[in-house]
Structure 1
Amino acid sequence: MPIRPEHRHFYPIDWPQLSAVIRFGRAAGRCERCGRPHGQVIVCLDGGSWYDAEAGAWRTDRGRVLRRTPDLASARLTRPILAACHRAHDTSLNGDGDLAAWCQRCHLIHDRPEHIRRRRLTYLRRRALGDLFLGPYPNL
Structure 2
Amino acid sequence: MPVSAAKQKAYPGGSLKSRLWDDIKAWVRMRSGDRCEGSPAFPECQAANGAPHPVTGSIVVLTVAHIHHDLRRNGPADLRHWCQRCHNKHDAPFRLANRRGR
TM-score, scaled relative to structure 2: 0.79
Q: Following the alignment from structure 1 to structure 2, what is the Cα–Cα distance between the partners of residues 44 and 95? A: 29
Runs of 4+ in 1 over 6 A off after TM superposition: none
Aligned length, in residue pairs = 90
Q: Does 1:6 align with 2:6?
A: yes
SS for the counterpart of 1:30 is coil
Pair 1:38 & 2:38 matched: no
Q: Structure 1: where are the runs of 5+ without partners?
A: 46-76, 123-140
Query: Which one of 22, 25, 36 corresponds to residue 19 of structure 1?
Result: 25
Structure-1 separation of matches of 2:94 and 2:69:
8
State the shift of 1:38 in Å: 0.4
Larger-Rg structure: 1
RMSD: 1.7
Provide the identity percentage: 36
Q: Which has the higher strand share?
A: 1
After superposition, the C-alpha distances for 1:63-83 in whole angstroms (9 at most, x for unaligned) are xxxxxxxxxxxxxx3111111
Give SS of 2:91's match. Answer: helix
Tell me the TM-score normalised to structure 1 length: 0.59
C-alpha separation between the residues in 1 aligned to 2:90 and 2:48?
Answer: 18
